[in-house]
Structure 1
Amino acid sequence: MNNKAVILGCNYYIGLSVIRCLGKQGIHTVAVDYSHEGAYGALSKYTSERLIAPHYRDEKSAFITFLKDYARKQSAPPVLFPCHDSYVEVIDEYLEELRQYYLIPQTEQGLYTKMMNKEILHRLAEENGVNVPETVRIHEDNFLNRIDEIIQYPCVVKPTDSPSFVAKFRRKLFKVHNRKELLEALEKAAQADLEVIVQRIIPGFDDHMYTFDAYLNQDAKVTHWTTCQKFRQYPINFGASVFTVQKHVPELYDIGGTFLEKMGWKGFAEIEFKKDADTGQFYLIEVNVRMTNFNYMLYEVGLNMPYITYRELTGSPLKPMSFTHTTGRAFWYFYEDMLAIRDYIKTKQLTAGQVFRSLFRPKTAAIWEWSDPKPGMAYVSMIGGKFVRKLLRK
């Protein structure tokens, strides 16, 4: 096939997983980042071409021009794979322009952003009969009283724009235990000029977090899907997946698949749910609109989401497929899982025995692969350098 795959963001293992998923199928992969530093994903032997582009946020106009100029030189339109939320935001802003040069699954400009915006997403979910955590907006009348009556403490202060919040605070949200902490969190968000909402915490340990991972074709119909259960995340309780297992939960298809089809979604999406420990009901937490953290684990159980995307957009779609059984294979991000385990045990949320027993199952590493060692070696070197610099500062 003449269509190249342009992968945006290779300084994280999601980009690396997309490169491997496509490269193993013989697709010409183009690793794009704004710097060589830290872009360990681009070192994969499955990288066909490596490019340094202007920064997607600091030099947005130059970045878009760079992408268009590259596509003009190709014999066929490349397929575009943004592997970070910030790249998705920029792609969405220039979607109509970029679709003249690239194959992109989404056709409705603004839909990516709507699904990433927590407040808009929750409104859409409520309108379509999907449970979401009780939410209070900070500009509502009797705001503090509504927190006391509806939300109660502890609760979470969440951004409507996650990428900007994470870039500023290096965390996904603030957990607050009383009114004083709530006001402090709101003040931090206000000083950063970031909009936030306040939500009830759905009861249940981190293993009550589930995902519905799906691909929807250009008719906005689910063609490929599976479900997973998180076991550990980092930071603990409100972080990203570091140990997640493929597990069949059929009711998530009924909820998630129906919702995505109603939204007219096209391409890959992952809905995160939390199962209420008291009621057993599933609550929609967020939607990831780019390839997921455990994309490579999905590949190893038989769902190559990047290749599914590539094949449909280039005119030769793969047959529909779903996983209606449990494989038990786990995604494992060793480094951050070690940090998470330390904190789970320290806070007495897990025992060493529970952790030890969880490791006796087939696992897919986030970064390391024996047949493609360079990215893993570069990552170890990068982490080692951080430790050395930290020690020298002491």
Structure 2
Amino acid sequence: MERVHKAVVLGVNYYTSLSVIRCLGREGIAVTTVDCSHDRTYVLESKYISEKIIAPHYQTDEKALLACLIRYAQKQQTKPVLFPSLDPYVECVDRHLEELRHYYLINQIEQGLSTRLMDKHSLAELAVQYGVKIPESVPGYHPHLIEAVEKETGYPCILKPADSTAFGRLFHVKVFHICNRSELTEELRKVKEAGLDFIIQRVIPGFDDHMYTFDAYLDQNSKVAHWMTAQKYRQYPINFGASVYTAQKYVPELYDIGAPFLEAAGFKGFAEVVRIRRPQIRQRLRKHRSVVLEKHSAVLPQRKSTGHLISG
């Protein structure tokens, strides 16, 4: 069946964009990709891509990128559906949401919501606001940071960037894993010299196969229309990376916390809630954000006595 609306996938150098392209292409949807370069973009080898566009970089000329997107949409008979597939593109679309909605079909309608959900500080505030427990955390701007970390989170702990993309580009890791005061002092020096915002958070123990996911699609009324759950077996990098081996596993308790949180936040589109199981009585939650199709974390009460479910 011929599909009327084209899909425009923004950013094509990560597996998330490849997944979007494959899923849409298999349904007969024409897919156009947009990125600043065709170098090192293995995604462009997909047979499901109909058009490939090189556009200005969002960092060097965001206005020109916006103009490029608008020109392409104006040439189409119907509004394309816009799929930003990386954090920086999600933020870019969010900044220009009101203008882009004149030319594209976009899940989000509230400007600023995507950015707030991606930012670790505001995401933690939303979690508290909607009754989602989070582990001990210390913001990077705390006036007595080292003392607060040792009192609130202890060691080991992790330093998580507010801007994961900038942090990863500079340090080539997702987080800093810290085991003592000496390591904390050194990692703080690095991020402060780089001018990056961050939080320090207690480490929740458990290997990759202790993690479970709640994946959902929320409609334009911010109601969960479709959902599934799965168990992770491997991430890359281990413990703090993206899923590379996951199996579907039905865990209905995840809906009880994931759906109310996402609906209350007013989210629209695809989201993933990740949590980790550990054999302790206390319930905690570790917040986890991602890219494109935003990731949010939540805690889940476990019904059996073998452990508790904690977000990853």
TM-score, normalised relative to structure 2:
0.89
SS of 2:188 mapped into structure 1: helix
Give, in whole Å, the separation in 2 of the partners of 1:94 and 1:200. 36
Give, in whole Å, the separation in 2 of the partners of 1:89 and 1:124. 18
SS of 1:153 mapped into structure 2: coil
SS of 1:182 mapped into structure 2: helix
Match of 1:223 among 214, 222, 225: 225
Name the aligned partner's letter for residue 209 of structure 2: D
Residue number in structure 1 paired with 2:300: none
Residue number in structure 1 paired with 2:213: 211
Residue number in structure 2 paired with 1:338: none
Residue number in structure 1 paired with 2:102: 100
Give, in whole Å, the separation in 2 of the partners of 1:207 and 1:134. 23
State the Cα distance separating 1:282 from its structure 2 match: 5.7
Name the aligned partner's letter for residue 240 of structure 1: A
Match of 1:278 among 277, 280, 293: 280
Q: Contact 2:270–2:294 at 8 Å: present in 1 too?
A: no
Residues 163/121 of structure 1: CA separation in 2 closer, same or farther (3 Å cut): same
Q: How does 1:309-324 map to 2 (within 5 A)?
A: none
Match of 2:160 among 153, 158, 171: 158
Match of 2:30 among 28, 31, 39: 28
Give, in whole Å, the separation in 1 of the partners of 2:64 and 2:213. 36
**Higher alpha-carbon deviation: 119-128 or 236-245:** 236-245
Question: Any gaps of 5 or more consecutive residues in structure 2?
Answer: 296-312
Match of 2:242 among 237, 240, 243: 240
State the Cα distance separating 1:264 from its structure 2 match: 0.7
Residue number in structure 1 paired with 2:88: 86
Deviations 1:17-64 (A, max 9, x none): 211211111111112221121222222221111111111222211111
Residue number in structure 1 paired with 2:184: 182
Q: How does 1:375-394 map to 2 (within 5 A)?
A: none
Give, in whole Å, the separation in 2 of the partners of 1:105 and 1:65. 20
Structure 1's consecutive aligned runs of 4 or more residues displaced over 6 angstroms after TM superposition are none
Residue number in structure 1 paired with 2:303: none
Give, in whole Å, the separation in 2 of the partners of 1:260 and 1:96. 22
Q: Contact 1:112–1:289 at 8 Å: present in 2 too?
A: no
SS of 2:138 mapped into structure 1: strand
Residue number in structure 1 paired with 2:194: 192
Give, in whole Å, the separation in 2 of the partners of 1:187 and 1:67. 39
Matched, 1:47 2:29: no
SS of 1:97 mapped into structure 2: helix
Residues 215/289 of structure 1: CA separation in 2 closer, same or farther (3 Å cut): farther
Q: Contact 1:273–1:282 at 8 Å: present in 2 too?
A: no
**Higher alpha-carbon deviation: 214-223 or 54-63:** 54-63
SS of 2:245 mapped into structure 1: strand
Question: Identity over aligned residues, as a percent?
Answer: 52
Question: Any gaps of 5 or more consecutive residues in structure 1?
Answer: 294-394
SS of 1:227 mapped into structure 2: strand
Q: Contact 2:86–2:291 at 8 Å: present in 1 too?
A: no
Match of 1:258 among 254, 257, 260: 260
Give, in whole Å, the separation in 2 of the partners of 1:50 and 1:137. 41
Name the aligned partner's letter for residue 122 of structure 1: A
Q: How many residues align?
A: 293
Residues 164/15 of structure 1: CA separation in 2 closer, same or farther (3 Å cut): same
Name the aligned partner's letter for residue 92 of structure 1: D
Residues 142/36 of structure 1: CA separation in 2 closer, same or farther (3 Å cut): closer
Name the aligned partner's letter for residue 200 of structure 2: V
Matched, 1:9 2:11: yes
Higher normalized strand content (fraction of residues): 2
Give, in whole Å, the separation in 2 of the partners of 1:142 and 1:55. 39
Residue number in structure 2 paired with 1:135: 137
Name the aligned partner's letter for residue 207 of structure 1: D
Match of 2:292 among 263, 269, 290: 290
Q: Contact 1:273–1:284 at 8 Å: present in 2 too?
A: yes
| Greater length-normalized contact order (CA 8 Å, ≥ 6 residues apart) | 1
Deviations 1:177-198 (A, max 9, x none): 1111111111111111101111
Q: Contact 1:203–1:278 at 8 Å: present in 2 too?
A: no
TM-score, normalised relative to structure 1:
0.71
Name the aligned partner's letter for residue 73 of structure 1: K
Deviations 1:318-347 (A, max 9, x none): xxxxxxxxxxxxxxxxxxxxxxxxxxxxxx
Give, in whole Å, the separation in 2 of the partners of 1:93 and 1:254. 32
Give, in whole Å, the separation in 1 of the partners of 2:204 and 2:197. 22
Q: Contact 1:157–1:196 at 8 Å: present in 2 too?
A: yes
Give, in whole Å, the separation in 1 of the partners of 2:268 and 2:24. 19
Q: Contact 1:271–1:288 at 8 Å: present in 2 too?
A: no
